[in-house]
């Protein structure tokens, strides 16, 4: 595993943004433009300036101690590694689009380090609104949308439709694993039995594949039946992947193991946010062979001291480089 000093060296290759800021937008240290309506979705770094100008030195690159969360610092380092190693065309895949910030940040690093590189980006999210926001955000940042694949799917182990909790970002009700286990399905069966087949809930579920009112705070989340895609089906059409970044609210524990051989043949670098110790341990086991060089391995909800600096994690962070494609 690499030290923080290694990541410092990577992050230092990016010069923090300085320059004008359009009204109604903010700009982060990478130079990524973020509309005001998306600001609450970006909790990785504090945004400043709206319709003004950023002086040289006003924005600083992230440090692992920022906001007691080192994920953004390690992400920037991984993006630098991926872009630096890319040849001819940078291909990045992001599982869990939110509003497209991961891909716009990777592209900002590309423009800093290797602006000559062609690119292809793939973003996967089951929520249509997230992909619509991603399209708008990526366009704001000068990314050619003809070079972006938008996949409106739930990443799953199989191709059968599944329940998905559609909720506000960061509401905690977006875990596709917990709502598809036996106990939840048994609860739904009893729920419909109690309501009766003539109920509006049952009609809405059959016609619109949607069910509301299961949570005490109905504004936070409702269940919807959505189509799925496997990780293998995402990877197969791509000749290679320079970086695969995943933030899937616990689904990472289930989607990788069936296609590890394909990942080993195609994917150069993985950056995986883990949710829970069980998920993190599973990822450690899957990428623990000598074929993978582990760059970062920090379990979730933990405290660390490295190179004289203290930091903690919310999500776990696991990054590994494919030695067969290095």
Do residues 187 and 273 share a domain?
no
Q: Judge if 76 and 202 occupy the same domain.
A: no
Angle at 106 between CA 102 and CA 111, to 5 degrees: 145
Beta strands 221-226 and 210-211 are: antiparallel
**Cβ neighbours of residue 146 under 8 Å, at least 6 residues apart?**
none
Residue 59 half-sphere exposure, CB side, CA atoms within 13 Å? 24
Three-state DSSP state, 229: strand
Let me know: does 28 contact 59? Beta carbons within 8 Å: yes
Predicted pLDDT of residue 211: 59
Nearest 5°: CA angle at 13, between 9 and 17? Answer: 130
> Domain boundary at 226, 244, 261, which?
226
Q: Are 119 and 200 in the same domain? A: no
What residue numbers bound the domain in which 41 lies? 4-157+228-322
Using a 10 angstrom Cβ sphere, with 0-12 exposed, 13-18 middle and 19 or more buried, the burial of residue 215 is middle
Q: pLDDT at position 37, please?
A: 79
> Do 90 and 201 share a domain, yes or no?
no
- Residue 171 is predicted with a pLDDT of 41
- Other residues' Cβ atoms within 10 Å of the Cβ of residue 61: 18
Q: Are the CB atoms for 297 and 284 separated by under 8 Å?
A: yes
Count of structural domains, the chain = 2
Q: What DSSP string describes 206-227?
A: HHHSEE---SSSTTTEEEEEE-
Instruction: Say whether both 120 and 179 belong to one domain.
Output: no
Q: Are residues 87 and 189 in the same domain?
A: no
For residue 243, count other CB atoms closer than 10 A to its CB.
25
Q: What is the pLDDT of residue 120?
A: 98
Token look-up 């799925």 returns 228
Closest to 18 (Cα-Cα) out of 63, 62, 38, 48: 48
Q: How many CB atoms lie within 10 A of CB 167?
A: 19
Is residue 316 within 8 Å of residue 275, measured between CB atoms? Answer: yes
pLDDT value of residue 175: 60
Q: Are residues 134 and 178 in the same domain?
A: no
pLDDT tens for the chain, 326 residues long, are 898 889 999 999 999 988 888 888 888 889 999 988 776 655 444 455 565 677 766 677 777 766 556 888 999 999 999 999 999 999 999 998 678 999 999 999 999 999 999 999 999 988 888 899 999 999 999 999 999 999 998 888 887 777 777 665 434 445 666 666 666 666 666 766 676 655 666 555 554 555 555 544 444 456 777 888 999 999 999 999 999 999 887 788 888 988 999 999 999 999 999 988 999 999 999 998 889 999 999 999 888 888 888 888 888 999 999 999 98
Do 203 and 89 share a domain, yes or no? no
pTM of the model: 0.85
Q: Which two tokens stand for residue 34?
A: 């973020």
CA dihedral 318, 278, 162, 260 (to 10 degrees): 50
Q: What is the pLDDT of residue 57?
A: 62
Are 117 and 204 found together in one domain? no
Residue written as tokens 């979705």?
Answer: 41
Tell me, yes or no, whether 57 and 191 share the same domain.
Answer: no
**What CATH number is attached to the domain comprising 136?**
3.40.50.150
78 and 206 fall within a common domain: no
Choosing from 190, 211, 226, the residue where a domain stops is 226
Q: Are residues 85 and 21 in the same domain?
A: yes
The pair of structure tokens assigned to 272 is 């995986």
């Amino acid at each position: 595993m690499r030290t923080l000093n290694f990541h410092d060296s990577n992050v230092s290759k990016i010069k923090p943004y300085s320059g004008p800021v359009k009204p109604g937008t903010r700009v982060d240290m990478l130079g990524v433009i973020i509309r005001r309506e998306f600001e609450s979705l970006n909790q990785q770094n504090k945004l400043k300036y709206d319709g003004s100008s950023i002086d040289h030195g006003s924005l600083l690159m992230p440090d692992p101690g920022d906001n007691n969360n080192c994920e953004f610092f390690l992400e920037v380092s991984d993006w630098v590694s991926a872009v630096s190693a890319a040849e001819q065309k940078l291909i990045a895949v992001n599982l869990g689009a939110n509003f497209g910030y991961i891909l716009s940040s990777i592209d900002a690093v590309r423009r800093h380090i290797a602006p000559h590189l062609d690119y292809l980006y793939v973003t996967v999210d089951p929520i249509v609104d997230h992909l619509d926001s991603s399209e708008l955000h990526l366009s704001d940042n000068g990314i050619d949308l003809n070079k972006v694949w938008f996949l409106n799917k739930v990443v799953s182990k199989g191709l059968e439709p599944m329940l998905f909790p559609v909720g506000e970002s960061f509401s905690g009700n977006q875990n596709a694993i917990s709502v598809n286990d036996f106990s939840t399905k048994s609860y739904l069966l009893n729920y419909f039995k109690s309501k009766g087949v003539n109920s509006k809930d049952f009609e809405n579920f059959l016609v619109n594949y949607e069910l509301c009112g299961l949570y005490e705070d109905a504004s936070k989340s409702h269940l919807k039946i959505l189509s799925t895609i496997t990780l293998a089906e995402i990877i197969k059409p791509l000749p290679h992947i320079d970086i695969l970044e995943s933030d899937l609210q616990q689904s990472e524990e289930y989607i990788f193991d069936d296609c590890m051989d394909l990942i080993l043949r195609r994917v150069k670098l993985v950056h995986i946010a883990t949710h829970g110790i069980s998920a993190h341990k599973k990822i450690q086991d899957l990428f623990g062979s000598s074929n993978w060089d582990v760059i970062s391995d920090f379990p979730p909800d933990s405290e660390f001291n490295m190179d004289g600096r203290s930091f903690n994690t919310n999500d776990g962070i696991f990054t590994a480089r494919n030695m067969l494609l290095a």
